[in-house]
Structure 1
Amino acid sequence: MIRALDDAASFHDLFATHPRLTDLVLAPDGTHLIASVQSINDQGTRRVSRLWEVDPSGERESRPVARSVQGDFAPAFAADGTLLFLPGRANTDSAAEKNESQGVGLWALPDRGEAMQIAHHPGGITAFAVAKDARTVAYTADLLPGAVSAEAYAGLRRERESAMVNAVLYEATTTYGFGAGLSPDEPHTFVLHADGAPVNAGSQGLTGAGDMALSPDGSLVAYTRAATGRVPGMNVVVVADAATGFEHHTFSRTGQQYYRPAFTADGSALVCQRQREETYDSEWRVTLVAFDLASGEETDLLPEFDNWPWPGRAALSPVHGNATLWFTGDERGHCPVFRRDADGTITRLTASGAYAALCVSPDGTTLYALRSTIDSPPRVVRLDAVTADQEPAFLRAPGDLDPLPGTLTEVHVEADDGFPLHAWLALPEGVSAERPAPLIIAPHGGPQMSWNAWTWLWNPWPFAARGYAVLLPDPALSTGYGRRMQERGRGQYGGRPYRDLIALTDAALARDDLDATRTGLAGWSYGGYLANRAATLTDRFRAIVTHAGMWNLEAFQVDTDMHDYFRKIFGDPRTQRERYEANSPHFHAAKVTTPILLVHGGKDHRVPMGQALSLYSDLQRLGTPVSFLHFPDEGHGIGVPNHIRLMYETVLDFLDHHVLGQSWDGPRTGTT
């Protein structure tokens, strides 16, 4: 059944403005949880966070944290139970210069009394970490080259502002990182003790910005740093004296990168994620490793764990002498919580859903987390820390979105090489064999990702509200299906993954409640690339939507902020052209006959605007129907609430026109 336009529009408007539950932290005594809840600001132009208190027992309703204000975010607890956070309020340092007061400081909210600022840095603080048993805080803030202190940095900032200069001279650094243009500032780790001024513990380099931890007693700080400044490639983990910045250890391994350090409860070891970079000849893989701080020995904690390619951040037991840790990891369309015991035994604690933001109770017997599924936004849950394949207890917190305009099921099929494939299928209300629904296939980004959790970008339910079924396939290179899933797709972005996508599409369309004559394809990032690739290989889809997708891989490998990473996988196109010629859709532009809608952000540095402009000009020149929805101020995703509404409105109208044969009136929100 196709819903009325007003009903569908109402749902994607609700979806764009709905509160979003993000961070979750547990008080040191285990008596209360603090979550961040993002909502739309009064002007309706952006999302702002508010801190909420959640009862771990699930008996009491959640409530906004007293004396917290709209905009406060990134909560954490100090050892004495004081709530620390980054603020949505002005700097209170009256002695600061005007340009120094811009940016975010670090604030503390005690049990009684008003919030107060405890640290500030010119230009702001971007992240922080606390010591479990001491009044010590580490935070990330920038310095310009040549500045060794916040005071010197402030002076250099004033000089640049007075000269009205914002130019950057790049020499030994990259120009873009994490999807944004880089300033000349470099992130550093500072340590603030209860009785002294902040200590500059060292430069993190681009790759480790905000990636740090303090030992429980506050004597050591660990942070990740690019091995050669901010040049992409291998990065190391540094363990330094928190009082002096003296580097005690620098752990590294060729071809590996380290992330997300965490100290054990007794401070004797450091646990990190270790990523083996994907190259032309090897798969990408992430594991958890432990460094013994006395011997320097490195141990792989998950040598036999085959949920390739990664486990999530480790949550370590807070009990001294207990080496248990918990982590999350993708597994066949889910992202369960796993427990690793001291002897290496791994137990899956949850059978379904996707978990994040793990918190461990002080006695190590209970876990708290954010749990989501394809058909449920993140919710706060409680788990037993030992029991296998359990169902969680849901706690009272904001963020639920109910009811949804449809139901969720699964699709399974064997690939042409016999590998078992999986996809989720969102079905609209009222679908039946008598009323089969049109189908939209929506490949995920990545490519190392999986459809296993709720997403706020390219969510299937606004489509279901319009009457479409949505297939969410996990083709080759998806995560959670073991090493072979990576091997079978390595180096062929548009080969095996495309064939898997088609196999899952055919399996879905074997259902009698789906209409094989009315189909479309819509993807974002790597999913946008697969949409572009499909446009050159088949005309079976009535319409294709490609958001931030790659088109010309040879141009992409020099323009993207991940150029070094991508070139390691595909090779230098001057000497290793095979993968570019086999996988780049632009070589086959003349084969495209399907109408295409492009969506792209003008500030996208992950998949730069040139990819969309190249595709748009190629199709215009060839006379292929193409439209281009351009967001000049958006990046790789779409974040502004009104832009989200406009994107869904335009995409759905485009699909209605080409898939359903309805008239094309264009969006009603001021585009041209």
Structure 2
Amino acid sequence: MRTTRALLPVLCGILILGAASPPAWGDEFTLEKFLEIPTLGAVSVSPDGSFVAYTWSRRDLEQDKRITRLWLGEVESGGTRQLTFTDDDVSAPAWRPDGALSFLRAVDGNSQVWVNPLDGTEPRPVTDIDGGVGAYWWSPDGSSLAVLADPAERADAADAENLADTEDEDREDWTVYDRIEKPQEYQQLWIVPVQKNGPDEDAEPRQLTFAPWHPYDAAWSPDGMSLAVTFNPRFSSLIDEEQQIALITVADGTTEVITPPDRHSSLPTWSPDGTRLAYFMDRESDYRAYLNLKDVMLRDMARGEVTDLTPETAWTLGGSGSTPEAAPQWGPQGRYLYLSAAEGTNLDLVRVDVRKGGIERVTALEGNLANLSVGGGAFAYVESALDKPGTLYAGRLGRKVRAIDSTDDAVAGFDLQPARKLRLPGHDGGFVEGFLFLPPGADENDRLPAIIEMHGGPFYRYGNAWTNRYPWQVLAQDGFAVFICNPRGGTGYGQEFLRGVYRDFGTDDYLDIMAAVDALVERGTIDPGRLGFTGYSYGGLMTDVVVSRTDRFKAAVSIAGIWNFVSAMGQNNSQLFIDSYRRPWDEDLQRMWEHSPASRAGDITTPTLVMHGLDDEPVDPRQSIEMFHYLQLNGVPSRLVLYPGEGHGINRPSHMIDYQTRELEWFRHYVLGVQDAAGAEPPLPVEP
């Protein structure tokens, strides 16, 4: 663990305690060991700034599940103690206004709000909601919770279905749709009275929002009279994303929408005195949500005046993606807003002066920041890097921070190489930033076999942050150079860069990647005759583009990718294409087809492994099935693997170890020429 770090004057310095110890296992960094590396997350600072609650989790391959524990750290002393010990899933730690700690605990898949008074007594549930709680927010006096839970009509429908199962064997078995999505599928906002030590048995939960609204997030006003709610006014978010903010009076449900429909707005947060409301909103109205930088807006609640506090910034605010991940957080005096922000591959803590506006960097981290929490004059966050799983830091605002807990020692015994940040020439005068992983003992001029990987999104980017999803370090241990890249179209590089793929998926971003590959070949880093390509989500789409436009790669692995833009528009990814191509029948359907990898299916010769979760909603698995059909019809060596019960992220440990093993062995066989690759045998010969 490092002992010094450069910090900006806002924090003054840092104190790090403890030393890393090697793991108990051997020093071979296998996929199994990679997937079981623990991580820290879900950070929440107490109202008085004395404590920080957080989660520790790891994948248990033997039990085939993720194990999560709740921990408590002391901000001043750095002491920690474990709070939960069962295998029940725990998440979303938060603080009741009186200082008791709450969290979601899922028992038999049903999540309820539990409270731990931290006085030595046992935690106990304070909600008992049919269908469970999706998210929750404490009222200022602690007497009620605002929760996201199933609407009443969904429970009624379930009761009716159960009754039909028992009474009518000849019941109707068809489904009628009046819209793409069914209203009862979305959780609604409820007000749930609670008592200090359990549910309020004398008061019924009250539903506050109703279809066609689709609420996402809520924030109580300091006086407890109203909620600022992020919602979609129309039910089908896959057709039009018109996320707005409304003020809802808690007593009677009276609603006032305060943001325009032509700019995506989200994640409101009240000033400590309740006179101002901060939130994110699209910078411009002429592009859809994904193609906009977000600004921090400030609304004067008495006058209704709105001020843009960050109109000139090129930073991506609120996280790494184009959609913010967490609300701005107020400092104790109401002068500053604190939030995470991405600039290039960096992700740091910044603050906004609500009187003057503008962005001021608070940290200059070596890694990337995540899980920021501010409260009671203190703050906490997790910092990780591509070779370090994560350390939780906490401290008083404006003072030194200390390390509270860390999982970095879990990799200390392995020979993991720090990733090297590169800035390479892109297409047409552009640039491509990314990170290069090298095998142990290798040098940048060793002409290594290489894997090139594209991120998802496309409105995202790779930063210097740990992930258990992509086995880059394992590939490097197996002898590959791995380059993960940020071509145009991603976040962190300003508005023009973000819009670099508008109506042009797989065109200039593809050329950016090829230019970067050329540069790595010219530098002598990678062997042009031993290359593989892979990606997940939009990275899967790019993989499909790559194999349809070039044969320079010996193998490819496409995961959860999009193959046919036209058919995808009629499946589950309408919003992505509406944002980027508008409605094709009003614009240019031919352009959409020509950009699709499917339009060049006859040119593909690269052996391609295709994988997808069967329950993927953002990208329908039929995209991968369709691609596989095309590959088989054309005699391309190929294999399709579908994972039941998995959505857009393949998360079950047994499925993760399977898909990552298949990826590794596919590249070992086709790129390295290993004939006895363990696990995933080569595909059967295909006759076109």
TM-score, normalised on structure 2?
0.85
State how far apart, in whole Å, the 2-side matches of 1:315 and 1:477 are. 25
2:225 is matched with which residue? 219
CA deviations on 1:54-97 (whole Å, 9 max, x unpaired) are 2323643x33116877422211000111111111347xxxxxxx
- Aligned with residue 25 of structure 1, among 40, 44, 51: 44
State how far apart, in whole Å, the 1-side matches of 2:411 and 2:212 are. 43
1:502 is matched with which residue? 514
Letter in 2 for 1:349: V
Q: How far off is 1:568 after superposition?
A: 4.1
- Aligned with residue 242 of structure 1, among 244, 250, 263: 250
State how far apart, in whole Å, the 1-side matches of 2:555 and 2:523 are. 21
2:193 is matched with which residue? 192
State how far apart, in whole Å, the 2-side matches of 1:66 and 1:442 are. 38
2:103 is matched with which residue? 85
Q: How far off is 1:226 after superposition?
A: 1.9
Q: How far off is 1:644 after superposition?
A: 1.1
CA deviations on 1:172-216 (whole Å, 9 max, x unpaired) are 4536xxxxxx8545422324365854333223766433x111123
2:67 is matched with which residue? 48
1:417 is matched with which residue? 428
1:331 is matched with which residue? 343
- What secondary structure sits across from 2:209 in the alignment? strand
- Aligned with residue 294 of structure 1, among 287, 290, 302: 302
Letter in 2 for 1:601: G
State how far apart, in whole Å, the 2-side matches of 1:357 and 1:433 are. 34
State how far apart, in whole Å, the 1-side matches of 2:444 and 2:136 are. 55
> Does the aligned pair in 1 maintain the 2:584–2:592 contact within 8 Å?
yes
> Does the aligned pair in 2 maintain the 1:311–1:330 contact within 8 Å?
no
2:4 is matched with which residue? none
State how far apart, in whole Å, the 1-side matches of 2:236 and 2:547 are. 38
- Change over 3 Å in CA distance of 1:220–1:574 after alignment to 2: closer
> Does the aligned pair in 2 maintain the 1:265–1:316 contact within 8 Å?
no
1:244-643 map, 5 Å: 244-247=252-255, 249-275=256-282, 279=287, 283-308=291-316, 313-320=326-333, 322-342=334-354, 343-352=356-365, 353-363=367-377, 366-382=378-394, 385-386=397-398, 393-398=402-407, 401-403=410-412, 404=414, 405-432=416-443, 436-452=447-463, 453-560=465-572, 562-575=573-586, 576-643=588-655
Letter in 2 for 1:534: V
Q: How far off is 1:279 after superposition?
A: 4.4
Q: How far off is 1:569 after superposition?
A: 2.1
> Does the aligned pair in 2 maintain the 1:134–1:217 contact within 8 Å?
no
- Change over 3 Å in CA distance of 1:459–1:109 after alignment to 2: same
Q: How far off is 1:668 after superposition?
A: 6.6
Query: After the TM superposition, which of the residue ranges 376-385 and 628-637 deviates more from structure 2?
Result: 376-385
- Change over 3 Å in CA distance of 1:635–1:664 after alignment to 2: farther
Q: How far off is 1:123 after superposition?
A: 0.9
Letter in 1 for 2:347: C
State how far apart, in whole Å, the 1-side matches of 2:155 and 2:593 are. 50
CA deviations on 1:520-553 (whole Å, 9 max, x unpaired) are 1011110111111111111111111111111111
State how far apart, in whole Å, the 2-side matches of 1:280 and 1:369 are. 31
Question: What do you get for the CA RMSD once the two structures are aligned?
Answer: 3.0
TM-score, normalised on structure 1?
0.87
Q: How far off is 1:667 after superposition?
A: 1.7
Letter in 1 for 2:435: W
2:125 is matched with which residue? 117
CA deviations on 1:294-324 (whole Å, 9 max, x unpaired) are 233332221111125566533433424x231
> Does the aligned pair in 2 maintain the 1:79–1:135 contact within 8 Å?
no
State how far apart, in whole Å, the 2-side matches of 1:80 and 1:126 are. 23
- Change over 3 Å in CA distance of 1:277–1:75 after alignment to 2: farther
Q: How far off is 1:582 after superposition?
A: 3.4
State how far apart, in whole Å, the 2-side matches of 1:252 and 1:361 are. 27
State how far apart, in whole Å, the 2-side matches of 1:250 and 1:163 are. 40
State how far apart, in whole Å, the 1-side matches of 2:60 and 2:191 are. 32
Query: Structure 1: any 5+ residue segments left out of the alignment?
Result: 1-5, 91-101, 146-152, 176-181
Q: How far off is 1:412 after superposition?
A: 1.2
> Does the aligned pair in 2 maintain the 1:315–1:359 contact within 8 Å?
no
Query: Structure 2: any 5+ residue segments left out of the alignment?
Result: 1-24, 166-170, 317-321
> Does the aligned pair in 1 maintain the 2:379–2:397 contact within 8 Å?
yes
Letter in 2 for 1:220: S
Q: How far off is 1:246 after superposition?
A: 2.8
State how far apart, in whole Å, the 1-side matches of 2:519 and 2:268 are. 43
> Does the aligned pair in 1 maintain the 2:425–2:431 contact within 8 Å?
yes
- What secondary structure sits across from 2:600 in the alignment? helix
Query: After the TM superposition, which of the residue ranges 213-222 and 157-166 deviates more from structure 2?
Result: 157-166
- Change over 3 Å in CA distance of 1:512–1:67 after alignment to 2: closer
CA deviations on 1:393-425 (whole Å, 9 max, x unpaired) are 432244654235323102112323323331111
CA deviations on 1:625-656 (whole Å, 9 max, x unpaired) are 11122213222121011111111211111101
State how far apart, in whole Å, the 1-side matches of 2:618 and 2:156 are. 33
- What secondary structure sits across from 1:442 in the alignment? strand
Identical columns (%): 25
Q: How far off is 1:434 after superposition?
A: 8.1
2:162 is matched with which residue? 161
- Aligned with residue 141 of structure 1, among 149, 154, 169: 149
State how far apart, in whole Å, the 2-side matches of 1:521 and 1:203 are. 46
State how far apart, in whole Å, the 2-side matches of 1:386 and 1:607 are. 44
- Change over 3 Å in CA distance of 1:591–1:19 after alignment to 2: same
State how far apart, in whole Å, the 1-side matches of 2:524 and 2:222 are. 59
Number of aligned residue pairs: give it.
633
> Does the aligned pair in 2 maintain the 1:7–1:465 contact within 8 Å?
no
Q: How far off is 1:455 after superposition?
A: 2.2
State how far apart, in whole Å, the 1-side matches of 2:397 and 2:585 are. 53
CA deviations on 1:588-612 (whole Å, 9 max, x unpaired) are 1111111111111111122112111
State how far apart, in whole Å, the 2-side matches of 1:649 and 1:371 are. 28
State how far apart, in whole Å, the 2-side matches of 1:593 and 1:168 are. 42
Letter in 2 for 1:571: R
- What secondary structure sits across from 1:396 in the alignment? strand
- Change over 3 Å in CA distance of 1:642–1:206 after alignment to 2: farther
Q: How far off is 1:587 after superposition?
A: 0.8
State how far apart, in whole Å, the 1-side matches of 2:31 and 2:680 are. 14
Query: After the TM superposition, which of the residue ranges 539-548 and 284-293 deviates more from structure 2?
Result: 284-293
- Change over 3 Å in CA distance of 1:234–1:144 after alignment to 2: same
- What secondary structure sits across from 1:358 in the alignment? strand
- Change over 3 Å in CA distance of 1:83–1:168 after alignment to 2: farther
- Change over 3 Å in CA distance of 1:254–1:18 after alignment to 2: same
- What secondary structure sits across from 2:645 in the alignment? coil
> Does the aligned pair in 1 maintain the 2:61–2:654 contact within 8 Å?
no
